[in-house]
Amino acid sequence: MKAAEAQSLRIEIGPNEAVSGLVMQPLQPRACYVFAHGAGAGMTHASMETVAADLAKRGIATLRYQFPYMEKGSKRPDPPTVAHAAVRAAVAEAGRSFASLPLIAGGRSFGGRMTSQAQALSPLPGVRGLAFLGFPLHPAGKPSSDRAKHLADVKIPMLFLQGTRDTLAELRLLEPVMNGLGSRATLHLLDGADHSFHVLKSSGRNDREVMDEALDAFAAWVDGIVG
């Protein structure tokens, strides 16, 4: 496989269901990120493409995949049991495709939360840590930390890359959650960024710079937990 060139695959979830996936592998990867999309956009969205390509430049392979609802063209996210099954199938596929590499799982928003729920219910085989690109702590305008309760059952390291303007994760609620998780949780705040890691022109920097900061932090965290 050529460096940083995406290749498609099918991921079997059950006897009668499969979803699409995309693998991007650098020449000498040191880990693989099993990367789920958010609720409103699938694995081919420009932001997903950017993360996969930029992680490849940092020596981290990725396996992106669709949730069943997105595969079918629906706008209604799958119920948790269906989403968890997709997460487990994708992790299993990554384990076969990258048998010699440590695995990191997670994703953007909804995809990251479904991954953490799956891990909390039963550890994902081969997964050494979870990484969230905008963990959705609560719906916009409905501040609460209820969505974080299951994180207490996740016993592996977790990285939270969060914008300080994220309306789905108010810092006054997020920071106590991080404190409660102790050393398992690493919080990296992206100053001025929203839930999608966009920044205002008045911030003095651009989205590209924010993404570089986020993925540099991601790569450094991966090195810290996989050696």
* Domain extents in the chain: 7-226
pLDDT for the residue numbered 4: 61
In whole angstroms, give the CA distance from residue 76 to residue 27.
37
User: Which CATH superfamily groups domain 7-226?
Assistant: Alpha/Beta hydrolase fold, catalytic domain (3.40.50.1820)
Token pair recorded at residue 21: 């996936």
Instruction: Write out the chain's pLDDT in tens, 227 residues.
Output: 344 688 999 999 988 899 999 999 999 999 999 999 999 899 999 999 999 999 999 999 999 999 999 999 999 999 999 999 999 999 999 999 999 999 999 999 999 999 999 999 999 999 999 999 999 999 999 999 999 999 999 999 999 999 999 999 999 999 999 999 999 999 999 999 999 999 999 988 999 999 999 999 999 999 999 87
Q: How far is CA 25 from CA 6, 31, 52, 108, 180, in A?
A: 7, 10, 9, 20, 35
- pLDDT of res. 1: 39
β pairing state of 60-65 and 31-36: parallel
- What are the tokens at 41? 């956009």
pLDDT value, residue 138: 96
DSSP-derived pairing of the beta strands 7-14 and 17-24: antiparallel
| Core vs surface per residue 60-86: b (16+ CB within 10 A) or e | bbbbbbbbbbbbeeeeebbeeebbbbb
Residue 50: what pLDDT? 95
